[in-house]
Amino acid sequence: MSAGLSSQVSRDYQLTLTNFLERARRFFPRQEIVSRGAQGISRYNYRQFYRRVCRLDNALSALGIGQGDRVGSFAWNTHRHLELYFGLPCMGAVMHTVNIRLSPEQIAYVINHAQDKLLFIDEDLVPAIEQVAAKLPGVQRYVIMCEGELPPTSLAPVCSYEELLAEAPENYDFPQLDEGLPAGLAYTSGTTGDPKGVIYTHRMLFLHSFALALAGGFGISEADTTMALVPMFHANAWGIPYTSTMVGAKQVLPGPHPQPEEIAGLIQTERVSFAAGVPTVWIGLLQFLEQQNYDLSSLQQIVCGGSAVPLSLIKAYRDKLGLQIHQAWGMTEMSPAGSVGTLKRSMSDWPAEQQLAQQAKQGLLLPGLEMRVLDESGCEVPWDGETSGELLVRGPWVAREYYRDPEASAQRFAGGWLRTGDVVTVDRESYLQIVDRTKDLVKSGGEWISSVALENALMAHPQVLEAAVIAVPDERWSERPLAYVVLKPDQQLSAEELLGSITAQFPKFWLPDEVTFIDELPKTGVGKFNKRALRQLAQQRPRR
């Protein structure tokens, strides 16, 4: 976290989220924000949104929250979460979006590591926090974001979000903030060990919002109705809430557990023009739409990312629905947008299938960002579409370090560059394509699963000798983990028994779908598990 800036710099106009909040209120007071909740759809406009953010900030001040304090959220995409997205940073506090899909242990870890003073929780997610509350000594108060009365809960002290706001004054003087102050905090699970925190400064989120609104980026403007299907508890919902507010777009927040029926319904009734989510969402929607008729004619742009978008999905949307999927690539460490797979003008003459192949790449880096692709000896590889190397990026919205984790920072950040861990090629049009991952992570439904963490847990079982986890392709989740396990001599163990022993340590979706017992794991020259060989082995296994 950076401290105050020198007086020399403070002369510059500071790039803060308060600018966006004030702009939305003054320029687009009547534009709507639509939020799907447990009790149905609610809607208000930016003027009302602004007033509630003011009430929220008065309430936070009364609760003793001040500049630099971290406050956690544990919530879906709702208008209340959006109020936190602005209310916390604009008063100088830090919005920590806790990923609701983490394991109980990980949830406790990130809240304690962040030192969250308050925790804002959606009503249906209260049980998950009750489960770990005993391990959260630093949380001074729980705030439940419920529609009606406070539900019965073991959390204490506890209060209702709506009561907090109702009791707070409607006028609030936003402080002048330094653009280098932290505004947001999100944790990403890496290859080994605990989740790692990424601080987003006001400056990073301000510039990232401009990038998303570029005509050659995602082109979000006041004319759009945006719907982030990517959750607000993950990587800033790709920045869509901030950008939408900046440009004064209508926002649709799809609420808890949005399923294909709700998604199609919201697009149809609210006339959504811009929607973004991971491939799994779009695969599910496509299957649903093959049996149901909805009017999705308002949809002008679908952004898909989080993991590689199958070419077949882009093609299916184009051919069956007449809709264009734009692939995007990014990382939690990048606020998160990195590249977008729109076509260059010179490609407009290309045959349709060649265009499709190009759109299946991760595309061109957004303006402001820089990249390098390095081979194992640290030399830049040629941009020939064939030679691969590790992708390094830097830019105004790329983190410079992990939060309070010098060891992990040293591994991934150097000289201002972020080592993405992605192995890519770059073609002659400068489009990047991810071909592998340096660390063999599994990416399932847009979320990382650490193969190394799973291996360590499996190998912790007394009867297990060695275990290696690899990613295998999966139509629905992009990838799923597959475990190869070598038992100690003369041991007997079923897959069920083995998985049962690690269930408590991980989110449910982390658990391998298959466990294969083998006699020996292939190794590389330096004695590491040879995952390349394991992947080849997996290709030959019988299909379930």
Kindly list the residues in this chain that would bind a copy of itself in the complex (CB under 8 A).
2-3, 5-6, 8-9, 11-13, 15, 19-20, 22-23, 26-28, 30, 180, 203, 206-207, 209-211, 213-216, 219-223, 246-247, 344-346, 364-365, 367-368, 370, 383, 394-396, 398, 400, 416, 430
d(CA 539, CA 269): 44
Q: How far is CA 490 from the centre of its chain?
A: 44
Sign of CA dihedral 486, 478, 184, 263: negative
Catalytic residue among 117, 196, 250, 443: 443
269 catalytic? Reply is: no
Q: What is the smallest separation between the CB atom of 422 and a copy of itself, expressed in angstroms?
A: 18
Q: Is the CB of residue 84 less than 8 Å from the CB of residue 120? A: yes
Q: What is the smallest separation between the CB atom of 310 and a copy of itself, expressed in angstroms?
A: 25
407 catalytic? Reply is: no
Catalytic residue among 83, 333, 401, 479: 333
Q: What is the smallest separation between the CB atom of 86 and a copy of itself, expressed in angstroms?
A: 15
CA distances from 366 to 187, 216, 330, 337 (A): 23, 8, 10, 8
Q: What is the smallest separation between the CB atom of 23 and a copy of itself, expressed in angstroms?
A: 6
d(CA 21, CA 512): 44
Q: How far is CA 448 from the centre of its chain?
A: 10
Residues whose CB falls within 8 Å of the CB of residue 526, separated by 6 or more in sequence, listed in order: none
Indicate the DSSP class of residue 318: I
CA distances from 86 to 243, 291, 450 (A): 12, 39, 32
Burial of 494 (0-12, 13-18, 19+ CB in 10 A): exposed
Instruction: Take residue 88 and report the two structure tokens written for it.
Output: 């916390």
Q: What is the smallest separation between the CB atom of 230 and a copy of itself, expressed in angstroms?
A: 20
Q: What is the smallest separation between the CB atom of 380 and a copy of itself, expressed in angstroms?
A: 11
Q: What is the smallest separation between the CB atom of 258 and a copy of itself, expressed in angstroms?
A: 24
Catalytic residue among 16, 78, 188, 191: 188
Alpha helices in 115-182 (DSSP H): 126-130, 161-167
Which CB, 120 or 242, lies closer to a copy of itself? 242
Which CB, 348 or 377, lies closer to a copy of itself? 348
d(CA 127, CA 250): 32
Distance in angstroms between the alpha carbons of the first and the last residue of the chain: 49
Catalytic residue among 329, 448, 477, 510: 448
282 catalytic? Reply is: no
284-290-294 Cα angle (round to 5): 90
Q: Is the CB of residue 432 less than 8 Å from the CB of residue 424? A: yes
Residues whose CB falls within 8 Å of the CB of residue 319, separated by 6 or more in sequence, listed in order: none
Q: What is the smallest separation between the CB atom of 54 and a copy of itself, expressed in angstroms?
A: 18
135 catalytic? Reply is: no
Which CB, 69 or 224, lies closer to a copy of itself? 224
Which CB, 27 or 62, lies closer to a copy of itself? 27
Which CB, 195 or 248, lies closer to a copy of itself? 248
Which CB, 104 or 396, lies closer to a copy of itself? 396
Burial of 504 (0-12, 13-18, 19+ CB in 10 A): exposed
Burial of 20 (0-12, 13-18, 19+ CB in 10 A): buried
d(CA 104, CA 131): 7
User: Could you give the residue numbers annotated as active site?
Assistant: 188, 333, 443, 448
